[in-house]
Structure 1
Amino acid sequence: MDADMVEAHHATLKTFASQHDIAAILVEGVPRAFCAGGDIKSIREYALQQPYREDPPINHPVARVFQTEYNQVCDVARCPVPYISICTGIWMGFGVGNSAHGDVRVITEDTLFAMPENSIGLFPDVGFAHIGATMPGAIGLYLGLTGKRLSSPEDLMYTGLGTHHVRVEQLPSLRDALVREPQERHSDKAKTLRQLDGILEKFQEPGLAKPQLAKLQPLIDSCFMPALHHRDRGRTAPQALDDIALDLLTIAQTNERPEAKQFAVETLESLQKLCPMSMAVTLCHFAAVYHAVRKGTGPLAEIEGVMEQEYALAVRQCGRGDFAEGVRAVVVDKDRNPKWNPENLSDIQENDLDAMFAPMPPGKGLRLDFLDPL
């Protein structure tokens, strides 16, 4: 979605939630209703046509996209009526922001999830760090850093990304049932959700196998959990990322289990292709949100605080050369050979990384415009 499309969608959501009599908002994934994510080519063009070194004003086209996207993320999370997402097909980027903070996420055997922003010089945004902080162990950081694709319903349900598993052929009947069956709208959203859950359970696919992620959980935690505590361990973000790579290399070289070796080799290969600054930003951000959510304290424990931080990170990342270069390599020229700056983790300056997380100047930060309560 470009800036105009995102703003139009945001306005529609506000109108629907405040005026509609139906008790739930349904959004659907590719290919029926929304794109998989934001239009990164358009954002790249905005940044190239109107480059900036300092934080941009909120009417800059890059700022407009993230102002509206991140407001919508908060609106989904705080929607006063039940918000139901049918997440089938490609489910990535802003498509995740449009849905994963809602009350119900229906996934299917065709759902393909990923947050691959580190491969284009951005970072996994739309509040995914807040979602990842509630996942088992260090799986949230693992998915955020690597951009790992999840396509099995078992894994999607295990992470909590999916709340219900429904077969694709059942979706038309599910949509009809959700829309047509009479619902009583309550000021207490939980009561309406209980009504809707009775409908959803009729279509729930039973008997999921053991998730692959559950089998890999000990390996994921052994490699990625220390990085979430890197500050307490006296390690910088680049050093902690190097530690992850070393742990993966050790598993690949010494572990005799084929599945462990495969996990280590594939994960290491994925990390080696990503933007160094993006990975460092991701680790710092996910670690801070993880601790805030787990402790239940501080601005980052709430989605609004996360989005305010992510707004600063997003506009600053887009102002860097890495974002334009990453999008060029992946979706414009498609040579898959980006030239990152800095090229290596060891070349990242601590003050440059700190500057990414500095508070936005007055009048340039995220302006939140919430949905009206019931």
Structure 2
Amino acid sequence: MLRTMHRMLAYRARLQVSMSTPNYTAVRKYASDASPHEENHIRSWRHGQHLGRIHIDRPKALNAMSADMVEAQHNALTAFSADDSIGAILVEGTPKAFCAGGDIKSIREMVLEQPYERNPPEGHPSQRVFQTEYNQVIDVSRCPVPYISLCHGVWMGFGMQSAHGDIRVVSEDTVFAMPECSIGLFPDVGFAHLAARMPGGVGLYLALTGKRLSKPADLLRTGIATHFVKAARLTQLTEALGTRTLRRASSKSLALSGLEPMLQQFDEPDQGESELEGLQTALDSCFLPALQHQERGRGTVEALDALVVDLLNVAQTTHKDQEKTFAVDALEALQRQCPMSMAVTLRHYSQVHQAVQAETGPLVELQGVMEQEYLMAVRLVARPDFAEGVRAQVVDKDKSPKWQPSELGDITEQSIDDTFAAMPSGQGLRREYLD
């Protein structure tokens, strides 16, 4: 694979593909008509008679969420869910970010101060982090009233918990990504559950490369977003929700159908062009075989190596500039990622995809996915790659991680199997953890 990557880099030098930088615009904080309760950077209050609002307010960290913040958000979600007068819940961030993810620096410190080799000892801080986060993901998906998120600005990592809610509003300034393979982890918080329902191999492509999506048409095409509202109209949307009578319906689907006409009044009809739509054929030719590798009798590492060869073939043979750019950018992204993270990600996403296609097994449901992701997460953060990846990306910021192992060829199928092995009884994801 290393020789293939060197060939790719030489090819890349001849292409001179330009990259654009996202343009962020500020929006003012949304007006409220009640004094909010504040707990660990999470503010919550009733807006009008029937809307519960949750505001993530840690702008200096782009709203990256610690375990304390997740628990505070869960407390607000629980309180609003138990209040029969609340007909919908609205979650929002600050002008530049909805949520940039989890607080990975603090998790790194936890495992450096209290290292372990495989399963965390009882009471280890990493247990609390992932028990809290993953139970919150499940509870968002089971919220009894419409769960509405204004995903404006940076939307990454743990911020994807909102993708398991009902309504995800993006603006022209939304920048989405799942970059966990670049820090020695894997794209978690149930993104595999969503990816298995995206067109073709798009979900695996986003997971392995960490590709940023900033075009509303792409966010809508993947199902990551449900509505596109201009940033300048987000405040108006919030006020309209706050003044609307949102009584609890006999079913959430009925409540959502009642909200849709109002949401359509703010929905922007001009979504622009979808980059992913034009790439679907080339993308599927590379990522679908990898996604289906277990059904085809291929090993995980073998499938990743074949993926690189397929991408290089597209880059060298296609006559379409858009496809050349896609293939070369994907190759460059894969070269930067942690090899073990890519292997674990491919195995996990393939298993979820296969379960969804067959419509059978625990991985069809979000809770089953989160139970598997819990054992994966607590094991991967204990490996040297996680501490090194976070160091390189957000601590020292030298962008030069030293992965262990540094080559895909040095990863054994057994080491991947070990990551997915069942945990001892009582040490997995516990649904009563946040009760």
CA offset at residue 33 of structure 1? 8.1
Matched, 1:75 2:139: yes
Matched, 1:328 2:391: yes
CA offset at residue 63 of structure 1? 1.1
Matching of residues 111-190 of structure 1 within 5 Å: 111-190=174-253
Find the counterpart in structure 2 of residue 21 from structure 1. Answer: 85
57-66 or 239-248: bigger deviation: 57-66
Q: Is the 8 A contact 1:104 1:164 kept in 2?
A: yes
Q: Deviations over 1:295-319 (max 9, x none)?
A: 2210000000000000000000000
CA offset at residue 327 of structure 1? 0.1
Aligned partner (choices 56, 59, 76) of residue 123 of structure 2: 59
C-alpha separation in 2, matches of 1:210 and 1:43: 39
Q: Is the 8 A contact 2:131 2:433 kept in 1?
A: no
Find the counterpart in structure 1 of residue 348 from structure 2. Answer: 285
3-state DSSP class of the match of 1:341? coil
Matched, 1:92 2:145: no
Aligned partner (choices 62, 67, 73) of residue 9 of structure 1: 73
C-alpha separation in 2, matches of 1:251 and 1:262: 10
Find the counterpart in structure 1 of residue 57 from structure 2. Answer: none
7-16 or 349-358: bigger deviation: 7-16
Aligned residue pairs, count: 371
C-alpha separation in 2, matches of 1:13 and 1:192: 18
CA offset at residue 109 of structure 1? 0.2
Matched, 1:224 2:300: no
Distance 1:371 1:316, change over 3 A: closer
C-alpha separation in 1, matches of 2:193 and 2:91: 21
Q: Is the 8 A contact 1:90 1:113 kept in 2?
A: yes
C-alpha separation in 2, matches of 1:230 and 1:85: 35
Q: Deviations over 1:272-314 (max 9, x none)?
A: 0000000000000001001112222100000000000000000
CA offset at residue 54 of structure 1? 3.0
Find the counterpart in structure 2 of residue 358 from structure 1. Answer: 421
3-state DSSP class of the match of 2:194? helix
3-state DSSP class of the match of 1:106? strand
Matching of residues 266-277 of structure 1 within 5 Å: 266-277=329-340
Find the counterpart in structure 2 of residue 44 from structure 1. Answer: 108
Find the counterpart in structure 1 of residue 268 from structure 2. Answer: 205
Q: Deviations over 1:120-144 (max 9, x none)?
A: 0000000000001111111000001
Find the counterpart in structure 1 of residue 360 from structure 2. Answer: 297
Aligned partner (choices 152, 155, 165) of residue 102 of structure 1: 165
C-alpha separation in 2, matches of 1:266 and 1:301: 31
**Aligned AA for 2:257?**
R
**Aligned AA for 1:209?**
G
C-alpha separation in 1, matches of 2:305 and 2:377: 24
3-state DSSP class of the match of 1:27? strand
C-alpha separation in 2, matches of 1:286 and 1:56: 24
| Structure 2 residue ranges without an equivalent (≥5) | 1-64
CA offset at residue 30 of structure 1? 4.3
Aligned partner (choices 320, 335, 344) of residue 257 of structure 1: 320
Superposition RMSD on alpha carbons, in Å? 1.5
Distance 1:219 1:13, change over 3 A: same
3-state DSSP class of the match of 2:163? coil
Q: Of the two, which has the highest radius of gyration? A: 2
Distance 1:58 1:17, change over 3 A: farther
224-233 or 302-311: bigger deviation: 224-233
Q: Is the 8 A contact 2:199 2:222 kept in 1?
A: yes
Q: Is the 8 A contact 2:392 2:398 kept in 1?
A: yes
3-state DSSP class of the match of 1:260? helix
| Runs of 4+ more than 2 Å apart | 29-35, 207-210, 369-372
Q: Is the 8 A contact 1:36 1:94 kept in 2?
A: yes
Aligned partner (choices 298, 310, 328) of residue 235 of structure 1: 298
CA offset at residue 207 of structure 1? 2.9
3-state DSSP class of the match of 1:21? coil
Distance 1:156 1:266, change over 3 A: same
3-state DSSP class of the match of 2:377? helix
User: Percent identity at matched positions?
Assistant: 60
3-state DSSP class of the match of 1:100? helix
CA offset at residue 199 of structure 1? 1.2
3-state DSSP class of the match of 1:42? helix
Higher relative contact order (CA 8 A, sep 6+): 1
| Structure 1 residue ranges without an equivalent (≥5) | none
Distance 1:370 1:109, change over 3 A: farther
Q: Is the 8 A contact 1:14 1:371 kept in 2?
A: no
Q: Is the 8 A contact 1:123 1:279 kept in 2?
A: yes
Distance 1:114 1:58, change over 3 A: farther
C-alpha separation in 2, matches of 1:228 and 1:73: 24
3-state DSSP class of the match of 2:282? helix
C-alpha separation in 1, matches of 2:286 and 2:394: 31
